[in-house]
Structure 1
Amino acid sequence: MPARVKIKRKGVGQMLRMPGMQAEMLRRAEVIKGVAVAISPVDSNSPHPGHYKGSWETDSTSRGGRRRDRAVAYVRNTAFYARWVEYGTERVPAHHVLLRAAQLGGRNQ
């Protein structure tokens, strides 16, 4: 006779908000941040070389996601020009640092 499992939504919601789940999400974000720092471009001709590379940060919360019902972690760059480095402009090619870091960081888990 096959085994039967009954899952309660409330229990799944509690599991997705557990401190251990939040810690794991933050650990994964730190791995991605490490890769992003390693592959960040540095313009030695700019007035603040290395500012973009040093502006990576991570954060986590137990109330994230579309419905605010699960633990999530964020990786972001606080440099005001981070969007232009990531996606490029008419004159500057896109570097896709965060995209590549997420792809490479997922492999290094």
Structure 2
Amino acid sequence: MQVVGFHGYPSIEIFGGGAPGEASGDPVAEMERPATRSSPGFDVARTGPVLREKLPGRRAVDLLVLALRRVFLGVAAPSESRAVPPAVLLAVPTGVVGAIFETLVRDVPNDVQ
């Protein structure tokens, strides 16, 4: 560990990695564990690959909402029927759930390497 400055605040820089074949999220969770037990006012900030790994999970909901809005405005809203918009809007979450289901059934790893 090393005391350094990060965005103008005193900080502790922690380096580490997982064992070969171990998921990358496990070592990150293990390194963040001391921060959860530390004093109030202590926070965890990520940089580098860990930051890029954590961001997509946060953006998934935003992308789903944007996809639903785009589908509604482009396809469902101009329709003159009241039954078409809900059916069209349900196509997006159904596709996402189907993709997740197939990933789990085929036991495909859900990581980026």
TM-score w.r.t. structure 1 length? 0.31
| Structure having the larger proportion of residues in helix | 2
- Greater Rg, structure 1 or structure 2? 2
**Larger relative contact order (C-alpha < 8 A, sep ≥ 6)?**
1
TM-score w.r.t. structure 2 length? 0.31
